[in-house]
Amino acid sequence: MKAVIAFVILSPFFLYFLFQPSVERTLQYRDQVLQKKAYEAAHLVALDGRLTEEVKEEIIGQLEKAYFRRDKIDLKGPAIAVTRGEIIEVSLQYPQGPTQIFNLFGSDEERDYYYPITIMSEYIEERP
């Protein structure tokens, strides 16, 4: 009986130490993928001078292939073309989800991955 009680008391600790490193590694990998795609989106937006639907679909499609939910991806940028030399602000946001196996004290608050990027526009208007 003592062994059963000890197992019941210690099993949450075993589960935590067994699975928490995997959760943290997954969060780190997601962070790296989202950061890379945010920079890629910023460079594509800089070339076009604005966030076009093609660029948005390309980035969101690539993230969807990496198992991110399409409806939760928030990619923002300028809708009107910005000429060369002006500053463009592009941001990518995605909800982080739970970061702890056990939320014992309510300390696992909801956060978002958020990547604001400022880049200079490379767009040159074509003149007739």
Asked whether residue 82 is domain-assigned, the answer is yes
Asked whether residue 76 is domain-assigned, the answer is yes
Asked whether residue 5 is domain-assigned, the answer is no
Asked whether residue 61 is domain-assigned, the answer is yes
What confidence tens digit (pLDDT) does each residue in 95-104 have?
988 888 777 7
Asked whether residue 32 is domain-assigned, the answer is yes
- Residues contacting residue 49 through CB under 8 Å, at least 6 positions apart: 78, 81, 82, 83, 84, 88, 121, 122, 123
Number of domains in the chain: 1
Asked whether residue 110 is domain-assigned, the answer is yes
Q: Which 3 state secondary structure label does DSSP give 97? A: coil
User: How far apart (Å, rounded) are the C-alpha atoms in residues 23 and 27?
Assistant: 6
Q: What are phi and psi of 66, to 5 degrees?
A: -95, 20
What confidence tens digit (pLDDT) does each residue in 2-52 have?
888 988 899 888 888 899 899 899 999 999 999 999 999 999 999 999 999
- For residue 51, the enclosing domain spans 20-120
pLDDT at residue 60 in the model:
97
Tell if the pTM clears 0.85, that is, is over it.
no
Q: Which 3 state secondary structure label does DSSP give 67? A: coil
Asked whether residue 126 is domain-assigned, the answer is no
pLDDT at residue 86 in the model:
95
